[in-house]
Structure 1
């Protein structure tokens, strides 16, 4: 079986990892369909599902894969109805001529629907097996639904939040021997995709207002902060206080948010270490806590923190605090 043809060097660790699942998918899907199955010419784009659907002139079958264990979110497999009919019919071992006729008529029902769902479940398992050893934290994928989606019903199939959030959409040419080329599409939330390898996947033209390093042992809080700030700031996160100083050697940091209560090293101790390090002693630090005490606040200021922030905080409050200190350092770009 041929390997996928890659048009360009992957721009991120996530893109590289997803593309590296293609050989397994091609081999196993070839066995399922009893046809040569190839995925070629992958292209990663940053968009929303709302924009994706608006620009489409066809209906899709969307298979929702729930991401579980350490990571949380959803990954979508997306096929046109014609492609879903073709794949489902191949699993039913129908003759090629009948498959083409059914696909042209758009007949997607009964056994064909069940067969495609089984195909999506098998691909889910392939992705799960391929991603699990490659990601730094535990992951599990589970197929939870397959549903018809088009411009008319998109708002009922998906929530407004999911439709309008930034997503990474990886599209590859899908070649099944004896049939017209189609598309194999994977869609994942940009925030979740970036979380896989703690990387920022940004458009070349996008300008951030500054770079924020967030140190917090709560992955839920890290996700919330990235979601609150990600549109305007480059947000780097770590749940390991010991790795925080090493991030300074890799990235330019304009401001640090540190949680006060963390196992091993407290936020106060980490703040003191930042202040003793020549590379970080001038970087503004904001200490955060969901259960602050007067002693915490005093210790934070003595350790060198510029500010203290109580969780949970609103986006407006968080940005006000950050902007205040970035402006003081003449870091903030003109808005």
Structure 2
């Protein structure tokens, strides 16, 4: 995402230095690749969390008040604490499998987290105009679908910049290390100029489209015929639902030209009749506003089809973070921006049909 370049460079520098110091602490090489930066609210961030997590809250004090969070995979935390404690590899594997986190593990990992926080203090302070200090607070574990979500746990309900770091320990990829910085704190650490009124709408839409493509990548080559044989889908059809007749015919045309069997209709069509006529393998759902009624069609399609895994690609000219979350919650499998780009849509359809 655009903006906060200074903050991203500071975090990246602190992470690389932390990796070097953690390598010495663990007696194993720990490396950090470049971080990806996304913007989430709490609800959307937790919706993206599938594995159990170990959450370390960190107070930012002095002239930059706020609270950020270090979020690790719980299994990674058990691994690193086990290495620091000298636990035999077989026992570490067992504890990771069963998600066993004991008091000694928490203390050991808190030492690792405290080392990371100390490095952030030493890297950030010389680059900031005023006093800056981070202090670790008691960590917690969070198991999705099991532990209760409250206003404050596992993280407070705020808008966050989420810095996703890819880390390796001993050459093996670890699962998760996210740094959640509240937007209010990010703006203090790296003040942004006001967005100029002259910024073109096309540029804003382009940035939004690029963000969506990073969140929902498709086949990089736009491989239209994945999941097909000799360019023809062997079983089932693709359903295109679009109220704009020109857009509907355009999508229908280029999908037909690439070997797909197509059913096309408007959003008000009788879904029961459609699914009674053909075996539908995927749905392209074009929307005008991405409002509650249009998004509710995802749930209706899943219900009528009787297939909870039916891939639905929803398309609209604009998306908000809330809209994206609602679309996913309603059952959308992927999200793209209008106007339809042939290679992008073909790549996503190919990916889903190949996995069917």
* TM-score in terms of structure 2 length: 0.51
Distance apart, 1:127 and its partner CA? 1.0
Alpha-carbon distance, 1:156 to partner: 3.3
Q: 1:121 to 1:172 in 2, by over 3 A?
A: same
The aligned residue for residue 117 of structure 1 is 110
How far residue 139 of structure 1 moved from its aligned partner, in angstroms, is 0.5
Cα distance in structure 1, aligned partners of 2:162 and 2:116: 17
Structure 1 residue 19 and structure 2 residue 21: aligned? no
Shift of 1:10: 8.1
Q: Which residue of 2 aligns with 1:87?
A: 80
Give the unaligned 5+ runs of structure 2.
196-202, 208-356
Q: 2:170 aligns with which of 177, 194, 214?
A: 177
**Structure 1 segments unaligned to the other structure (5+ residues):** 1-7, 208-335
Shift of 1:93: 1.8
Separation (CA, whole Å) in 2 of partners of 1:102 and 1:64 = 24
> Which residue in 2 is equivalent to 1:271?
none
Indicate conservation of the 8 Å contact 2:4/2:186, yes or no: no
Match of 2:147 in 1: 153
Provide the residue aligned with 1:243 in structure 2: none
Q: CA RMSD in A?
A: 2.8
Q: Partner of 1:65 in structure 2? A: 58
Q: How does 1:1-335 map to 2 (within 5 A)?
A: 12-151=5-144, 152-153=146-147, 155-156=149-150, 158=152, 163-177=156-170, 179-199=172-192, 204-205=204-205
Moved over 4 A (4+): 8-11, 200-207
- The question of whether the paired residues in 2 share the 8 Å contact of 1:194 and 1:201 is answered with no
Shift of 1:48: 1.5
Deviation at 1:200, TM superposition (A): 5.3
Larger mean Cα displacement after TM superposition, 110-119 or 31-40 = 110-119
Task: Report the CA distance between 1:78 and its aligned residue.
Answer: 0.4
Higher relative contact order (CA 8 A, sep 6+): 2
Q: Aligned-pair distance for 1:42?
A: 1.1
CA distance in 1, matches of 2:206, 2:143: 30
How many residues are treated as equivalent by the alignment? Answer: 199
Matched residue SS, 1:156 = coil
Pairwise CA distance, 1:128: 1.1
* Cα distance in 2 for residues equivalent to 1:31 and 1:194: 34
Query: Contact 1:61–1:78 at 8 Å: present in 2 too?
Result: yes
SS in 1 for 2:61: strand
Structure 1 length normalisation: TM-score?
0.54
Deviation at 1:9, TM superposition (A): 9.8
